[in-house]
């Protein structure tokens, strides 16, 4: 191994086990796949470059995305979204919701950038939106308060294609947007219905995926973390699955006056 990369590998091995949820684990356990040295080095290098770029941006909070899965057949570039924020001690931390090993539940985690990129992504590319100063201030206040506040709109039942305006399930990007709503309007947004109403008032438009009946059946039967029964029948049976995606959020933030245009960073 290149000696210059040894410190990155040592650091990654030290933090790889520190995936601490912000609330107790739930559901059945699953076997964790240990990352290879190559994945660790690439993930830590991605984290290092992202940290440097975020420092240079002058932001304190960003909406940070990664390309964990190949969603190109759906016209999507990124798969997963979280809030990255600059701590008083210096390092960047990420608060995001993670599905537990393909099960039907998920938890909210607070991790470092290293852990965020140690997931063997489909493509080593980061993207982020820098919110306006007001949005950053409100998000930072929420992220720095007690864990109870940041998970108060969290719903444990999970579907990767949960209905954008439903409350039966909640996927990761949906949790992030509903939490953003609660941070922006803490006095009036106390539940998921109110958070979604705020999103609609700001003109958010979910992505509409064209998924036929065979695709829906195959996904539902083969995966515990895929469900379609929360989608309205008229939309579901006309193959229109409306869900919250990173790409739709990144298009919405500048349009709603809540943030700048997305910035991308690729690992060379």
What's the angle, vertex CA 110, arms to CA 208 and CA 92, rounded to 5? Answer: 100
pLDDT above 50: residue 17: no
Q: Are strands 123-129 and 61-67 parallel, antiparallel or unpaired?
A: antiparallel
Instruction: Count the alpha carbons within 13 Å of 92 in the hemisphere toward its beta carbon.
Output: 28
Question: For residue 36, what is the DSSP state?
Answer: P
Please name the residue ranges forming H helices in 109-268: 113-116, 133-144, 147-150, 172-184, 192-201, 213-222, 233-236, 246-255
pLDDT, tens only, 203-251: 999 999 988 654 544 444 357 889 999 999 999 888 899 999 999 999 9
Query: 89 or 25, which is more confident?
Result: 89
pLDDT band at residue 27, thresholds of 50, 70 and 90? very low
Q: What is the 3-state secondary structure (H, E, C) of 104-136?
A: CEEEEEEEEHHHHCCCCCCEEEEEEECECHHHH
For residue 82, the SS3 value is strand
Q: Among 178, 90, 184, which Cα is nearest to 137's?
A: 184
- The mean of the pLDDT values for the chain is 86
* pLDDT, mean of residues 35-42: 88
> CB pairs under 8 A, 24+ apart, for 141-144?
141/183, 142/179, 142/182, 142/183, 142/186, 143/61, 143/83, 143/85, 143/95, 144/85
Spatial neighbors of 36 by CB under 8 A, at least 6 apart, are none
Say what the pLDDT of residue 32 is. 57
At residue 92, φ and ψ (nearest 5 deg) are -85, 140
* Continuous segment of H or E residues that includes residue 10: helix 6-15
pLDDT, tens only, 127-157: 999 999 999 999 999 999 888 889 999 999 9
Q: How many residues does the chain have?
A: 268
Q: Which pTM value belongs to this model?
A: 0.86
122, 68 in Cβ contact below 8 A?
yes
Query: 185 or 101, which is more confident?
Result: 185
* pLDDT, mean of residues 98-108: 91
Q: Using CB atoms within 10 A of its CB, is residue 56 exposed (0-12), middle (13-18) or buried (19+)?
A: exposed
């Amino acid at each position: 191994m290149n000696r210059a990369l040894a410190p990155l590998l040592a650091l990654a091995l030290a933090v790889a086990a520190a995936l601490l949820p912000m609330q107790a684990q739930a559901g059945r356990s699953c076997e964790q796949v240990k990352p290879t040295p190559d994945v660790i080095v690439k993930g830590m290098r991605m984290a290092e470059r992202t940290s440097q770029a975020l420092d240079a941006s002058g932001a304190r909070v960003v909406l940070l995305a990664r390309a964990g899965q190949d969603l190109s057949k759906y016209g999507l570039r990124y798969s997963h979204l979280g809030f990255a924020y600059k701590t008083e001690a210096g390092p960047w931390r990420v608060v995001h919701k993670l599905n537990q090993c393909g099960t039907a539940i998920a938890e909210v985690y607070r991790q470092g950038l290293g852990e965020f990129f140690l997931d063997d992504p489909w493509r080593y590319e980061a993207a982020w939106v820098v919110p306006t100063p007001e949005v950053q201030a409100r998000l930072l206040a929420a992220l720095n308060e007690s864990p109870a506040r940041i998970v108060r709109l969290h719903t444990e039942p999970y579907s990767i294609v949960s209905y954008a305006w439903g409350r039966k399930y909640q996927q990761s990007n949906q949790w992030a947007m509903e939490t953003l709503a609660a941070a922006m309007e803490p006095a009036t947004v106390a539940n998921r219905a109110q958070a979604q109403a705020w999103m609609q008032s700001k003109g958010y438009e979910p992505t509409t995926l064209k998924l036929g009946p065979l695709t829906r059946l195959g996904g539902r039967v083969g995966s515990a973390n895929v469900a379609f029964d929360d989608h309205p029948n008229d939309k579901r049976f006309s193959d229109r699955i409306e869900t919250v995606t990173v790409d739709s959020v990144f298009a919405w933030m500048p349009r709603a006056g809540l943030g700048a245009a997305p910035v991308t960073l690729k690992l060379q």
